[in-house]
Structures are given as structure tokens and as C-alpha cells.
Structure 1
């Protein structure tokens, strides 16, 4: 097996974004492997022992949180960063509980990700927000919490929220950060 200390696994279902991240990290001296699903990730872990991981939160409708859990179980010291276009407090908390070191909202650059790998401790000097939470933000957080609880199953989340599935899908499409 090659030197795994600079091996990075990217778990991302968007091929173009995965390819861009791969090239950028390879230019920085990382050996990059990639997977687009939890099953592919498990197969890769049978052959490689990455020290770093970048995981998309939403993988073809499935939750990337299972990948975070698998990676952390494989190596508790692995530096795992979760990237998402669907950021919420609920999923951030779950990602950290499952073993992620950081949680970044897309768009995030390679510099942002690498900086997150290097930060191993919290910052007590982080400024506290002074702006009150809006109704729209509270609604978004609640939707995301229910989505996470339902394993990112839109139909089940809509049922739990008491709304039509298409209404929930429209709300998610409007709020997506790309």
C-alpha cells in the first residue's frame, strides 16, 4: 500500500465538482481517490486507508452522514470535512457527532477545505451572531431537521411536515446553494 498520510477520499455524486476537487488536491500533493456513493466508499476502504475525506451531505438523494459514520469507524483520526449546498444546524450537529471535523457550506474552495483539515480545535474567539433568526431561517432549520430524521427521503419528510411532497421539493429547490 502507498503512503496513506496524504491520501484523500472525495465522496461526491457531482462528477464535475468531484473532478475539479480531485485536480486541485492532486496539485497540492494529495493522492486522491473518489466515490459517488456509500457502497463505492466501502469498496475503496477495503483497498485504501485515507487520512483525509471530503463528503457531500446529499448523495443522489441519500444522506452523506452514513459515509461520515463509516469513515469515522474506519479511522477515528481521519480528518473529515462535510460539504453541503443544504446547510442546516441539525445536519451540522449530526455530522460532527458522527465524526466530521468540520462542516462547510458550498461553495467552498480547496483552500477552505484544506484550512478545515488543519483546524483541529475550536476557536473561543468566534464572534457570536447578534442578528435574530428570521422566520424563514427557522422554517428552513425545521425542514432540514425533519429531512435528516427521515434519511433525506422527501416523501417521508413531507408527510411528517404535513405538506405535499411537491411543495417541499419546490422549497428545497429554491433554497439550494450551488
Structure 2
């Protein structure tokens, strides 16, 4: 008898995490949940090992990128899919560098995530003539990459961006990270 694949879902939205967990359990996975990097650390410290992981980018005030790094360090063979409500080039690049197999924008379903687990490389057939970025998009991606570099510390990011912390906070309120 083959052992069921082990999965951890790192998601701070309890409703979405529960839905994902049920869906994967129906497919034969043994699923665990964590809502923060600290909860994931507790699972890993308890000796839990995972074949697969689904990690949300924004976990309250914490970054899911930290969780990707922790999972990859614990077991480089873990297939990790990062989910986010706001995709940016900066976080996609960082997620892949830190060990994620794939990066998906919410809403993503179980089929999309399982497909992401199976991705071993890039797709050279992806069209390169995508739409041009607006100035607002370029600004947002720059802000987001700076935030990622600062591990989502708003004060430090504002300092590096040369803007007042409240100005940055207002911009972030208008375009929520999830």
C-alpha cells in the first residue's frame, strides 16, 4: 500500500484553508494546516515532513516567502506552490529563488495547485508580447519588491523608497496585499 502524500497548507484565511484542506483530503492527501510562520515552525520542529505545500504570500503581517524558505530548507524535495491575491514580478522571482515550484494568483482551485506541484521547469512557449505595464503597475511592483526586500517592514520600506511612512501606508491600503 502506498503512503498518502503529505501536504501542508499555510494560509491565514481559515475559511479558504479549510476548503483547500477538504478538497485535498478528498483527493487522498494527508493535510496539515498552519496560519503563520510560527505555526509552520512548530510543525517542522515536531518532526512533520511534507511532500507538498501550498503557501499564501501574505500571512497577516508576515510574509509567506519566509515559509517557502523554511520548507525548502527542511526538505528541498518538497513541491511548493505559492498563492497570492496580488501577483508581482518581484514576489514571483523571490518565491522561485527560495524554492517554490510554482506561483499562482488567487483564485486558484485544487486542479491548478496540483498542476503547479507537477511543474518541473519553465514553459518556453509562454507568449512574450504581454501587455505593457502602466506607470501605476510599475510603481506598485517597485513598492512591492522593496517591501519584500524589507520582509514587509513598512517603516524600513518607506525609508528606502524615500517617502513618509504614512504615505506608503495609504498606498498599501488602496491596493491590499493578499
Regarding TM over 0.5, the answer is yes
Match of 2:13 in 1: 14
Spell out, residue by residue over 1:61-112, the C-alpha distance to the aligned partner (whole angstroms, 9 max, x if none): 1111111111011111111011112321111111111100011112211121
Q: Per-residue deviation at 1:172?
A: 2.2
Match of 1:109 in 2: 109
Correspondences of 1:122-141 after superposition (within 5 Å):
122-141=122-141
Instruction: Give the 3-state SS of the residue equivalent to 1:33 in structure 2.
Output: strand
Q: Where do 5+ consecutive residues of structure 2 fail to align? A: none
| CA RMSD of superposed structures (Å) | 1.8
Task: Measure, in 2, the Cα distance between the counterparts of 1:172 and 1:113.
Answer: 27
Contact 1:80-1:117 at 8 Å conserved across structures: yes
Contact 1:82-1:95 at 8 Å conserved across structures: yes
Match of 2:39 in 1: 40
Match of 2:91 in 1: 91
Normalised by the length of structure 1, the TM-score is 0.91
Q: Where do 5+ consecutive residues of structure 1 fail to align? A: none
Matched residues, number: 176
Q: Per-residue deviation at 1:175?
A: 2.3
